[in-house]
Amino acid sequence: IDFRKVQFLLSAHAIGQLPAPVYPDIAFAGRSNVGKSSLLNRLVDRSNLVKTSSKPGKTQSLNYFLVEESLYLVDLPGYGYAQVSQQTRQSWQGLITEYVTTRSTLACVVVIIDLRHELKQLDRELVDWLRYLDTPYLPVYTKADKLSRNQQMKNAAALDAGLTLTADDRIIFSSSTGQGLDSLRSRLSGFARS
Ligand code: GTP
Ligand code: MG
C-alpha cells in the first residue's frame, strides 16, 4: 500500500455521515494538540492535506481520507481540551465514543501520546477502554524531535510502564523529522484490504 496515494473524502459531524464501511478504518486519537493531524500529513507525505494548528481544538469532526482503494484514515478531534465549551467537548466526546463502539470496520486506533510528558489519565483511560472493547490499538509517542535520544528512551520507558506495554508494542515518532515513519507505515499497512 502506498500511503501517498490518498484523497480527502469527507468531514463527518455525526455518525450518520460516515462513508459506507467498505474499507477498514484506521483512526488517529489523542489529546488536543498532541500532533494527530501532523502525523497524518507525514504518513501520507503531504505537508498540508490535513489542517494543523499551534492552537488546540483545530480538528472538530471525523475527517476521512481514502488510501488507494484499500484503507480509510480517520482524523479524530482531540480530547482533554478545557478551553472549548463543555457542550462542544461533550459533543466531540460523544461522537468519538459512538464511533469507536459502533464502527464495524474499525481496524486500529492509533493512540498518539506526547513523548515529552508524563502519562496523562485520559491517555491511560483511552488505552484501558480500547483493551476492554478488544479494539486493536497502536500507541505512538510523538514529538520525539524535541528530546535527545537519551531522554527519548527514558520517557518512552516511563510511558511503557504506565501503559503496561513493551517497546515492541509502540512506536517513537516525529512528524518533524520522520523518525518512526517506516515502522508506522509497515504496522498500518497490515490493516489494508488486499
Ligand atoms: P487538534 O486537532 O487540535 O486536536 O490537534 P492535533 O493533535 O491534530 O495537533 P496538530 O497536528 O494540529 O499539531 C499541533 C501542534 O504541534 C502544531 O503546532 C504542530 O506543528 C506541532 N507538532 C505536531 N507534531 C509535531 C512533532 O512531531 N514535532 C514537533 N516539533 N512539533 C509537532
Ligand atoms: Mg487535528
194 in a structural domain: no
Nearest residue CA, atom 13 of ligand 1? 35
* Residue 64 falls inside a structural domain: yes
Q: Tell me whether residue 98 is in a domain.
A: yes
Q: How confident is the model at residue 7 (pLDDT cuts 50, 70, 90)?
A: very high
Return the pLDDT at 180: 98
* Closest atom, ligand 1, to C-alpha of 78: 4
Q: Is the dihedral of CA 183, 186, 187, 189 positive or negative?
A: positive
Q: Is residue 104 part of a domain?
A: yes
| Residue ID of nearest Cα to ligand 1 atom 20 | 54
ipTM: 0.98
86-126 pLDDT tens trace: 776 676 778 889 999 999 999 999 999 999 999 999 899 99
Distance CA 89, CA 86 (A): 5
Instruction: Report if residue 16 sits inside a domain.
Output: yes
Name every protein residue with a CB atom under 6 angstroms from any ligand 1 atom: 30, 32-38, 52-54, 56-59, 77-78, 142-143, 145-146, 174-176
**How far, in Å, from the CA of 35 to the mean position of ligand 1?**
3
Question: Does residue 90 fall inside a structural domain?
Answer: yes
Supply the CATH number for residue 92's domain: 3.40.50.300
Stretch among 60-64, 111-115, 149-153, 170-174 having the lowest mean pLDDT: 60-64
Q: Is 83 exposed, middle or buried (0-12, 13-18, 19+ CB in 10 A)?
A: exposed
Q: Which three cell numbers stand for residue 7?
A: 484523497
Q: How confident is the model at residue 82 (pLDDT cuts 50, 70, 90)?
A: low
Q: Which residues contact 129 (CB under 8 A, 6 or more apart)?
A: 100
147 alpha carbon, closest ligand: 1
The pLDDT tens digits for 128-157 are 999 999 999 999 999 999 999 999 999 999
Q: How much distance in Å is there from the Cα of 28 to the middle of ligand 2? A: 9
**How far away, in angstroms, is 173 Cα from ligand 1 center?**
12
Residue 14 lies in a domain: yes
Percent of the chain with pLDDT over 70: 95
For the chain, how long is the longest CA-to-CA vector? 46
Pick the atom of ligand 1 nearest to 173's CA: 27
How many structural domains does the chain have? 1
Q: Burial level of 187, CB count in 10 A (0-12/13-18/19+)?
A: middle
Residue 158, classed as helix, strand or coil, is helix
Q: In sequence order, what are the beta bridge partners of 152?
A: none
Distance 55 CA to ligand 1 centre (A): 9
Nearest CA among 74, 66, 35, 65 for reference residue 177: 35
Residue 143 burial by CB count (10 A; 0-12/13-18/19+): exposed, middle or buried? buried
pLDDT above 90: residue 28 = yes
Mean model confidence pLDDT for the chain: 91
* Alpha-carbon torsion angle 76, 52, 180, 139, nearest 10: -30
Enter the pTM of the model: 0.94
User: What residues make up the domain containing 18?
Assistant: 6-189
More confident call, 92 vs 62: 62
How many angstroms does the Cα of residue 110 sit away from the middle of ligand 2? Answer: 13
Q: Domain for residue 1, yes or no?
A: no
Alpha-carbon gap, residue 60 to 92, rounded angstroms: 7
